[in-house]
Amino acid sequence: MTEAVVGSRILALGHYQPTRVLTNDDLAQMVDTNDQWIRDRVGIVTRRIADSETVADMATAAAGKALAGSGLGAADIDLVVVATCSSVDRSPNVACRVAAKLGINTPAAYDINTACSGFSYALATADHAIRAGSGRNAIVIGAEKLSDFTDWTDRSTCILFGDGAGAAVVTAVAEGEQPGIGPVLWGSVPERSDAVRIEGWRPYIQQEGQQVFRWATTALAPLALEAIKKAGMEPADIKALVCHQANARIIEGIAKRLNLPNAIVVKDVVESGNTSAASVPLALSKLVERHEVPSGAPVLLFGFGGGLTYAGQVVRCP
Ligand code: UT7
């Protein structure tokens, strides 16, 4: 008889950031901006910019680290899911490239694009697949090379973005054990989906910054609270808040409204900029690497962005 799978949990995390650091002063040499404006309005101090690395290279590096830390081997992985909105190639998808590079044979391999909320969407689909019995072990990745889609002459956007990847190895949880990935709260605002765009054949990122800022700081906290409730928890149970890393002021605004009395509020945006779908797993992996939260601690993930999509869930730290 096969054991009953009741959910899934994160076994290990990994991340990758390119070595090249782009400072606010560097940007001030390129466009009419300055360090103070960027720090005050967005909270970013540095961001990493890829050189020859592709989205698949960065995804592979992060996934390789997560796999190495998981105790599993390539042969154990049934599913590879990559959240990205900045892969240049249409096919093969990034997931297949990662699987090939890591020697993972015959996995289900797919990419999803919900822009900055992508990691929580990807994590939810992996959790659902494992619960349904479609696989036992998954690698879930958020990876972006936004520098390929950045207009380096536009000061309103080029100061915001960075490149990088984060990954999680996810495994089935059997009856009697505690699931480590809570139910997802997800959705979108299709009628306002043009607020963040990467459109056309030679696209650059464009956005209605103030509109997105207002939405993020007013609409998202109640939704994030719903994700906590869906996990059967209270705000006081949450030990860390890992939001999409778009703007330190947005993160502070969401944290204030949510009022999580025992949570570290993660602001990796300061050193990494906005890496879209990579930002949540990147920040989570770095948080765990710094041993700031104990194993098993509940952490609220909440992504939001392009399409005005959003998704979040409570996960337990590996
Ligand atoms: O990840 C996808 C989801 N996206 C987001 O979550 C982004 C949400 N929005 C934001 O984070 C903020 O709206 C931004 C950081 C994008 C912009 O900050 P803001 O406080 O909304 O600035 P603003 O666009 O209203 O611009 C204020 C002023 C303008 O000048 P005037 O018209 O007041 O004279 C801009 O031209 O600041 C000017 N400005 C700059 N000045 C120096 C815009 N960009 C810059 C810059 N340096 N880089």
Segments of the chain scoring below 50 in pLDDT: 1
Any residues with CB less than 8 A from the CB of 302 and at least 6 apart, and which? Answer: 120, 220, 223, 224, 227, 241, 242, 243, 244, 254, 280, 310, 311, 312
What is the DSSP track for 227-273? HHHHTT--GGG--EEEE--S-HHHHHHHHHHH--TT-EE--THHHH-
Task: Choose which residue among 35, 37, 41 to substitute to test ligand 1 binding: the one with the highest number of ligand atoms within 8 A of its C-beta.
Answer: 41
Residue 42 CA to ligand 1 center (angstroms) comes to 8
Task: Choose which residue among 24, 33, 152, 213 to substitute to test ligand 1 binding: the one with the highest number of ligand atoms within 8 A of its C-beta.
Answer: 213
Question: What's the pLDDT tens digit per position in 203-242?
Answer: 899 999 999 999 999 999 999 999 999 999 999 999 999 9
CA 195/CA 173 separation, integer angstroms: 39
Q: What is the dihedral of CA 279, 288, 73, 275, to 10 degrees?
A: 10
Residue 266 CA to ligand 1 center (angstroms) comes to 22
Nearest to 314 by CA among 257, 242, 217: 242
Q: What is the pLDDT of residue 203?
A: 84
Residue 151 CA to ligand 1 center (angstroms) comes to 15
Whether 185-316 and 5-174 are alike in CATH topology: the answer is yes
> Which ligand 1 atom sits closest to the C-alpha of 155?
48
Question: Strand 264-265 and strand 185-188: pairing?
Answer: unpaired
Q: What is the pLDDT of residue 199?
A: 93
CATH 3.90.320.10 given to domain 185-316: no
Q: What is the pLDDT of residue 2?
A: 66
Domain ranges of the chain: 5-174, 185-316
5-174 belongs to which CATH class? alpha beta
> Nearest residue CA, atom 26 of ligand 1?
156
Question: What's the pLDDT tens digit per position in 18-27?
Answer: 999 999 999 9
Q: Which residues form the pocket of ligand 1, taking CB atoms under 6 Å from any ligand atom?
A: 33, 37, 41-42, 116, 155-156, 159, 196, 207, 209-210, 212-213, 216, 246-247, 250, 274, 305
Residue 270 CA to ligand 1 center (angstroms) comes to 16
Q: Which residue has the tokens 């989570």?
A: 284
Q: What is the pLDDT of residue 83?
A: 98
Give the pTM.
Answer: 0.95
Q: What is the pLDDT of residue 3?
A: 78
Question: Could you give the residue numbers annotated as active site?
Answer: 116, 244, 274
CA 284/CA 167 separation, integer angstroms: 9
CA 189/CA 39 separation, integer angstroms: 29
